[in-house]
Amino acid sequence: MRSTLLVDIGLLATQDAELGEIRDAAIVVEGESIAWVGPASSAPAADESVGLGGKAVIPGFVDSHAHLVFRGDRAEEFEARMRGMPYGAGGIRLTVANTRAATDIMLRWNVDRLAGELLRAGVTTFECKSGYGLDVETEERSVRIAREFTPEVTFLGAHVVPPDTDRDEYLRLVTGPMLDACAPYSRWVDAFCEQGAFDGDETRSVLEAGLARGLGARVHANQLTEGPGVQIAVELGAASADHCTHLSDKDVDALAASDTVATLLPLAEFSTRAAYPDARRLLDAGATVALATDCNPGSAYSTSMPLAIALAVREMRMTPAEAVRAATLGGARALRRSDVGLIAPGRRADLVALDALSYIHLAYRPGVPLIAQVWRSGVPVLSVR
Ligand SMILES: [Zn+2]
C-alpha cells in the first residue's frame, strides 16, 4: 500500500487523548488510514513526502446535524425575521411543498451542492436528515437520495405535522408505513420535540418505533422552549440531543451523567437572532458537547463549521480548543463513530490543513476562508490556491 509522509505541520491538534497537540509534526497516511503520527524529527520513511509549509492541521470536521434534502429557499422569511418577525416551526411547510414537487434530480443536485460546500468548509463526515417530504413517497425519496452521499442518514418524518393532516393519523403513518419505507436507507430516527411540533409522548412513540426497527435515536430537543426532549433523549439512550438551548439543571445533570451528546447549533441562534445555548454550563458539568451546522433553508442556511466555531468561542464561552474538539471528536461521538474525528494511527485519514499557524485562527479570524487542503480517506480532495 502506498504511503505518504505529510511534513512541515506547524501545529497538529490530534484530538487524541494521548497524542494531544504536537508542534513541528508529521503524519504518515497509508491507503485510507493514518499509519503514524508524531514529531517530524522521528518520522519514519514513506513512499512520498508532502510539505505543508507550516500550516496547522486538524481532523476533518464531523457535521452531525444537517438538513440537506429540500428544494427552494426561504430568503424572504429570513428578511422578515431580521425585520422583527419571530421564528416558529410553521415555515417548514413552504419547504415541504417545494420538496414534494421536486424531482429526484433536483433533490440530488441540492444535496450535491451543499455537500460540496461542506467539503470546502472542511467537513469530511456529515449527517443528513429527511423531514421536508412528510409523506411516505417523499420521505422515502429523501433518505434514499441522502444515502447516496453519506451513511449517516436520519429519518425525520416527525419534523412537523403536515398541513391539513390529522395528528394521530400522521403519527400512525410516521411510526408505521413511513418508517417501513425509510428504515432500509436510514441509520437514525429523529423527532422535533417542541411546542408547535411534537410533544413528549409523541416524540417518545416515534423514537421507540425507530429503535424497534434497529435505528439509533437522536432528538431535536429544547431549542425554543424548556421541553421534555433532553430527558427523553437520555432515557432512550439517544446518541445526541440537539440544540439544547433552553436547559434546566436537571437536563444538564442528565446529559452529564449519560452517553447522550449535547449537540449545539449556534448558526441557528445566529440566523434567528436568538439567545445562544450555554456551552460553558454543559462543559463544566462534564457533558460531551458537539458543534454542528444545522444547515437547513429555514433557521440556519449555512454550511460553515468554521463560523459555528467562531460563534461558539465568541458567544458561548467555549475555548478555541473546546470548539474545535466539539466540531471534530464531539461530532464523531454524536454519531457514535470511532473511526473519524481524531488523528491517530488506525483512524480514517480525514485531515484539514489551515492557512494559519494554529486552529485558534478559526475563531480569531471569523469569516475568513482558512480551509487550505482537505484529505478524505487518505485522498486529497481539496487544495485551495
Ligand atoms: Zn435540525
Q: Which three cell numbers stand for residue 168?
A: 394521530
| pLDDT tens digits for range 173-189 | 999 999 999 999 999 99
Gap from CA of 321 to ligand 1 centroid (Å)? 25
Contacts of 2 (CB under 8 A, 6+ apart): 30, 31, 47, 48
Q: How many CA atoms lie within 13 A of 340 on its CB side?
A: 28
**Is pLDDT above 60 for 196?**
yes
Ion ligand 1: protein residues whose beta carbon lies under 5 Å? 294
Q: Identify the pLDDT of residue 89.
A: 57
**φ and ψ at residue 30, rounded to 5 degrees:** -125, 115
Gap from CA of 245 to ligand 1 centroid (Å)? 13
Gap from CA of 239 to ligand 1 centroid (Å)? 15
* Global pTM exceeds 0.85: yes
| pLDDT tens digits for range 289-348 | 999 999 999 999 999 999 999 999 999 999 999 999 999 999 999 999 999 999 999 999
> Which of 73-87, 173-187, 208-222, 235-249 is predicted least confidently?
73-87
Gap from CA of 20 to ligand 1 centroid (Å)? 31
Gap from CA of 65 to ligand 1 centroid (Å)? 6
Q: Identify the pLDDT of residue 91.
A: 80
Q: Identify the pLDDT of residue 90.
A: 63
Gap from CA of 268 to ligand 1 centroid (Å)? 9
Gap from CA of 186 to ligand 1 centroid (Å)? 16
Average pLDDT over residues 219-239: 96
Gap from CA of 179 to ligand 1 centroid (Å)? 19
Distance between CA atoms of residues 143 and 36, nearest Å:
37
Q: Identify the pLDDT of residue 296.
A: 97
The DSSP letter of residue 45 is P
| pLDDT tens digits for range 46-84 | 999 999 999 999 999 999 999 999 999 999 999 999 998
Is residue 1 within 8 A of residue 30, CB to CB? The reply is yes
Q: How many CA atoms lie within 13 A of 21 on its CB side?
A: 13
Q: Identify the pLDDT of residue 88.
A: 62
| pLDDT tens digits for range 91-150 | 888 999 999 999 999 999 999 999 999 999 999 999 999 999 999 999 999 999 999 999
Distance between CA atoms of residues 216 and 230, nearest Å:
15
| pLDDT tens digits for range 256-295 | 999 999 999 999 999 999 999 999 999 999 999 999 999 9
Q: Give one DSSP letter per residue of 127-142, joined into a string.
A: -EE--S--SHHHHHHH
Gap from CA of 180 to ligand 1 centroid (Å)? 22
Of the pLDDT bands very low, low, confident and very high (cuts 50, 70, 90), residue 163 is confident
